[in-house]
Chains A and B, each alone.
Chain A
Amino acid sequence: AQRVTQPEKLLSVFKGAPVELKCNYSYSGSPELFWYVQYSRQRLQLLLRHISRESIKGFTADLNKGETSFHLKKPFAQEEDSAMYYCALSGLETSGSRLTFGEGTQLTVNP
């Protein structure tokens, strides 16, 4: 079974402060991890994926297999980063690439 846990439902930081959104997973195989973001009144969109090892909008995430974590980080938060963030996992299934989502973290960046 695969499971994704985002321990914080709400996270509030001030503009310019560092931010870390936590994500832990359980999966017996080799997972693919993703971060999706949903801005107010917009659809869910991919922010980044661990296999790309890229930085999007200043966000990075490193897959730590030892700690089974994929925390999302940004050194200096901006007000426009306020959104709902979902961590998701895709296992090596024989039937495509269904995603298992965490419950999400609502990030608010205050001025």
Chain B
Amino acid sequence: NAGVMQNPRHLVRRRGQEARLRCSPMKGHSHVYWYRQLPEEGLKFMVYLQKENIIDESGMPKERFSAEFPKEGPSILRIQQVVRGDSAAYFCASSLLPGQQETQYFGPGTRLLVL
């Protein structure tokens, strides 16, 4: 089991461009979480998805950010019209089941740099 995969590992975008971040959960996991880590800060929850459904997007900025987890393929976090403040590390995690006691397994992260 290769674990949670994220790509790309590093992404450079100019202001106004779109960024697409991909996350493939661990085999058999259908619960995906996205977190953002700004410089010098801890990880902050963004969105929780199950296959084809957004369950909780309370941590997602209201504009320019969207996430999906289609029936087939990876989960995608999309940032439209990026700004310098979007520069951060974006981590994806997956779990086998939902629930307070479930372990989340993290990917290596995507480092986004907006020029």
| Chain A residues proximal to chain B, CB less than 8 Å | 4, 6, 32, 36, 43-46, 49, 51, 86, 90-93, 95-104
Q: Report yes or no: B48 in contact with A95, Cβ–Cβ below 8 A.
A: yes
Q: Report yes or no: A101 in contact with B42, Cβ–Cβ below 8 A.
A: yes
Q: Report yes or no: A43 in contact with B99, Cβ–Cβ below 8 A.
A: no
Residue among B3, B42, B59 with the highest chain A CB neighbour number at 10 A: B42
Q: Report yes or no: B31 in contact with A96, Cβ–Cβ below 8 A.
A: yes
Which residue of chain A has its CB nearest to the CB of B48? A96
Q: Give the residues in chain A near B33, CB-CB below 8 Å.
A: 96, 98-99
B77 CB, min distance to chain A CBs, angstroms: 15
| Interface size, chain B (Cβ < 8 Å) | 30
Q: Give the residues in chain B near A91, CB-CB below 8 Å.
A: 100
Also in contact, A32 and B100, with CB within 8 A (given A96-B48, A104-B42): yes
* Interface set, chain B 39-92, CB cutoff 8 A to A: 40-45, 48, 55-56, 59, 91
A71 CB, min distance to chain B CBs, angstroms: 17
| Chain B residues proximal to chain A, CB less than 8 Å | 3-4, 31, 33, 35, 40-45, 48, 55-56, 59, 91, 93, 95, 98-109
Q: Report yes or no: B101 in contact with A96, Cβ–Cβ below 8 A.
A: no
Q: Give the residues in chain B near A43, CB-CB below 8 Å.
A: 3-4, 106-109
Q: Please give me the 5 A-B residue pairs with the lowest Cβ-Cβ distance, nearest first.
A: A95-B56, A103-B42, A101-B42, A44-B106, A96-B98
Residue among A44, A45, A46, A91 with the highest chain B CB neighbour number at 10 A: A44
Q: Report yes or no: A95 in contact with B91, Cβ–Cβ below 8 A.
A: no
Q: Report yes or no: A44 in contact with B91, Cβ–Cβ below 8 A.
A: yes
